[in-house]
Amino acid sequence: MSELTVLNLGASRLVAVTARANGQGAHIVRSGSAELASVDAAPLRAAAEKCGVAGARVALVVERGRAILRDLELPEGTPEELVSMVRFQVERELPLPVDQVRYSYVETGRGEGKVRVQVAAVPKDLIDPALAAAEGAGLKVTGVYVSSYGLLALSPDGEPAVLIEVAGGEAEILVARGGRMEFSRTATLGEGAPADALAREVDRTLRAFAARSPGTEVARIVLAGEGEAASALAKGLGELLARPVSQAGPGDLETAPAAGLCLGVLRGRPIPDLLHPPAAGRRFRPKAAHRVAALAALVLVLLGVWSQVALADKRRELARKRDELKSLEPRVKAVNRMHEETERALQWTEYRKVWFETLEMLQKHVNPTQLWISSSTFEETGSVRLQGKAQDHKNVTAFVTALEKSGHFSAVKADKNSPNNDRTGYRQDFVITGQLAGYANGKARK
């Protein structure tokens, strides 16, 4: 639900109309008028408060007499091109430099490669003081519109019609067709019976329009406003013109155009907003390079995300495996300890056989006629020392070779193999040292 208040700042009077739009359409919720001493912040705030408007979003109405309206026919183009073409035409056709006016436009027709637009322009000198006063009064101005479009919003669509607004001794008369403003003008009604003067101005308008658009019959005359004053004026006008004059609301003679503008804006009719003219919005059109860059950026982002996800997965996997290892460790330690103690105990049973098997092997390889062992020592570490005499150094070498081939020793060598003066025939002294196979860290193994 949206609400809009339209303020018409006249020379000495403020007219305020508030309308609200909901799902069922737009309708007037409040309207009124108050004396306006001057178009300044304080008087405006006071007048607005009298009309029941405070701190609201408002739209200002500029009277038709202060605005310049132009119909342009331009070649079709993009919206950006249309903005440029309109600006170019405004610069050419307006009597003021373009930077000194506020202008806007609406498209009124299109066909045969042409676009028809209606431009509304108002000198900034006439708008900006009212804007400053409204802002100073605490009102947020959301748009500025020409009053003719309020009148137009009251017109019945379809057949050409003359729309008349009478307020403050002036009349605005326009010819509308198909919801489009074809012709408009303002007239001062002067002193006396307004119906007479108004009838004359309407008649002039009809003749001017007939000259401009020959063959176009304007069948209806509509007076904006309801109520007694409006009815009396419509009746008098009809009698003078000898044609029926109908009335269009909501609102009375004074508030009807503002009410029409309110409803028109809320209903989304195309009305040129002098504060927000169509702009040549610079639309971004992606090119191949942009697409490639976007794709590359997307790939990089995906890579970044993937890399972090992969790292997180890796960390989870490591944590899971560590937990698994931790859960196995107590049993593993118990088994290792059991195995270690079993191996230790077997040193006193199974593994001691290494010693005896070695002694047996020595006995097998010693030929007493060639070699005699006088001393042999077997240590717990597996080291063996054999000392003795031989008939010849070749007997020692052959003995060492036999020990090596026996497989009982991981290392064996003759530390000493030298002749002596023994008269027994054993002329060679020898010392053989070796290490029993199957020993690790001083312990026997199977």
Question: Which stretches of the chain bind other proteins, using CB under 8 A?
Answer: 304, 307, 310-311, 314-315, 317-318, 321-322, 324-325, 328-329, 331-342, 344-349, 351-353, 355-356, 359, 372-380, 389, 424, 426
267 or 320: CB nearest other proteins:
320
**What is the Cα gyration radius of the chain?**
58
**Which of 105, 43, 31 shows the shortest CA–CA distance to 74?**
105
The minimum distance between CB 339 and other proteins, in angstroms, equals: 5
Angstrom distances, CA of residue 310 to CA of 304, 315, 319, 324: 10, 9, 14, 21
Query: Phi-psi bin for 441: left (phi > 0), alpha (psi -120 to 50), beta?
Result: left
CA dihedral 198→204→205→209, nearest 10 degrees, is 160
372 or 439: CB nearest other proteins:
372
The minimum distance between CB 400 and other proteins, in angstroms, equals: 19
Task: Match 């600006």 to its residue by tokens.
Answer: 87
37 or 338: CB nearest other proteins:
338
339 or 405: CB nearest other proteins:
339
96 or 373: CB nearest other proteins:
373
Q: Rounded to an integer, what distance in angstroms lies between the CA atom of residue 228 and that of residue 208? A: 30
282 or 287: CB nearest other proteins:
287
Q: Rounded to an integer, what distance in angstroms lies between the CA atom of residue 50 and that of residue 10? A: 15
The minimum distance between CB 307 and other proteins, in angstroms, equals: 5
The minimum distance between CB 55 and other proteins, in angstroms, equals: 53
Residues in a beta bridge with 109: 116
Angstrom distances, CA of residue 407 to CA of 305, 395, 398, 402, 435: 63, 19, 15, 9, 11
The minimum distance between CB 372 and other proteins, in angstroms, equals: 6
The shares of helix, strand and coil residues in the chain, as percent rounded to the nearest 5, are 40, 30, 25
54 or 335: CB nearest other proteins:
335
The minimum distance between CB 377 and other proteins, in angstroms, equals: 4
The minimum distance between CB 364 and other proteins, in angstroms, equals: 13
Helix residue ranges per DSSP H, 213-287: 228-241, 256-266
Residue 368 preceded by cis peptide, ω within 30: no
The minimum distance between CB 422 and other proteins, in angstroms, equals: 9
Task: State which amino acid sits at residue 42.
Answer: A
116 or 351: CB nearest other proteins:
351
